[in-house]
Amino acid sequence: MCLLFLFFSTGYAQITINGVCWATSNVDMPGTFAANPENAGMFYQWGSNVGWSSSNPLTASDGINIWRNLSETGDVWLPEKNPCPIGWRLPTRGEIESLALTYNYWGNLNGVGGSFWGTDEPRLFMPATGTRGHGDGTLYYVGEMAFYLSSTIDINNHDVPFTLWIQQNFSATGCFLGTRSAGSPIRCVADQNEFDVAFYANDVHHEDLTDTTFCNKNVNFRAEIEGIQLHPDEGSLKWFIDYGSGEVEEDSARDQKQWSKPFENGIYPVRILVRFENNETTSISGILKIQALGIKIRNVRY
């Protein structure tokens, strides 16, 4: 008998408001979300992927704990400096304006003040993290207000970023012109480039492979990607698997929307890297665990 366990992380918790899928927590260390919606996470300066602590003492995600009063140039937040996890990005001005027009109210979650958004449960909660001043990184307004960064720069008015402004006991929320070099929280939105992966084991489709029993010694695992348009360049779809000696690319599966391989006992980290038609990229990863159980029956004399 074989037991096959598959743990694939295709995303994080999200709440959809006006067609936009919002993450339920702030960005913490670059590429990660805070553990809970009420956690402040880390602060970021516009265009940078260096995180700063949202409480004192001042610390930085890159280990250089000296505040840098920097102002990234340009009007585009470069993809390689995106601090959101893979598959997520900063909201645009239009997306934060759409959120600001949604029903919202001030409240607290587990003792932390902030704004709730939406008319249905569960509501989106954004904590009042405060901000770090652009001059020396001093921490201000914790528990009272916050400016959530967008990716959009107002190039016609002071060349500064649009932010989502929330404030305690203040009726107005909405788009506010922020400062590039101030430290602010980030609440990501899901990429619009989405795709589905169908999983099969021994040619049987499974919605959930976390506990599936097979009688075969080997399990043939197959994954099929559905509903995407790939970039025309070679290598726009790659499958990776770690056999224990490091990450190895499955060359035979390159640019194929189906990946199939037999497995014996073992634990195999798996990753799928996708490059879309519009040149954006994302990936999903997980653990494929196969455990064959040997059953021995003893002869018993009566």
Note whether 175 and 200 are same-domain residues.
Answer: no
Note whether 107 and 232 are same-domain residues.
Answer: no
What size, in residues, is the chain? Answer: 302
Residues in the chain predicted with pLDDT less than 70, given as ranges, are: 1-11, 170-173, 192-202, 204-223, 226-227, 242-253, 259, 261-265, 271, 278-302
Note whether 170 and 24 are same-domain residues.
Answer: yes
Distance CA(267)–CA(4), nearest Å, equals 10
- Residue 51: which domain range? 14-190
Distance CA(101)–CA(93), nearest Å, equals 12
Nearest partner of 74 among 48, 94, 52, 93, judged by Cα: 48
Three-state secondary structure call for residue 97: helix
Note whether 105 and 65 are same-domain residues.
Answer: yes
Domain boundary among 170, 190, 210: 190
- Cβ atoms of residues 83 and 49 within 8 Å: yes
Distance CA(125)–CA(108), nearest Å, equals 9
- Cβ atoms of residues 154 and 161 within 8 Å: yes
Note whether 171 and 271 are same-domain residues.
Answer: no
Evaluate whether residue 9 is within a structural domain.
Answer: no
Three-state secondary structure call for residue 252: helix
Cis, peptide link before residue 161, omega less than 30° from 0: no
Domain boundary among 190, 221, 240: 190
pLDDT for res 196: 62
Note whether 264 and 186 are same-domain residues.
Answer: no
Evaluate whether residue 299 is within a structural domain.
Answer: no
Evaluate whether residue 6 is within a structural domain.
Answer: no
Distance CA(41)–CA(28), nearest Å, equals 4
The pTM is what?
Answer: 0.65
Evaluate whether residue 97 is within a structural domain.
Answer: yes
Q: Which two tokens stand for residue 220?
A: 């043939």
Note whether 37 and 155 are same-domain residues.
Answer: yes
Evaluate whether residue 301 is within a structural domain.
Answer: no
Note whether 76 and 183 are same-domain residues.
Answer: yes
Note whether 158 and 115 are same-domain residues.
Answer: yes
pLDDT for res 236: 79
Note whether 36 and 148 are same-domain residues.
Answer: yes
Evaluate whether residue 58 is within a structural domain.
Answer: yes
Note whether 180 and 96 are same-domain residues.
Answer: yes
HEC string of 258-271 equals: EEEEEECCEEEEEE
Domain count, the chain: 2
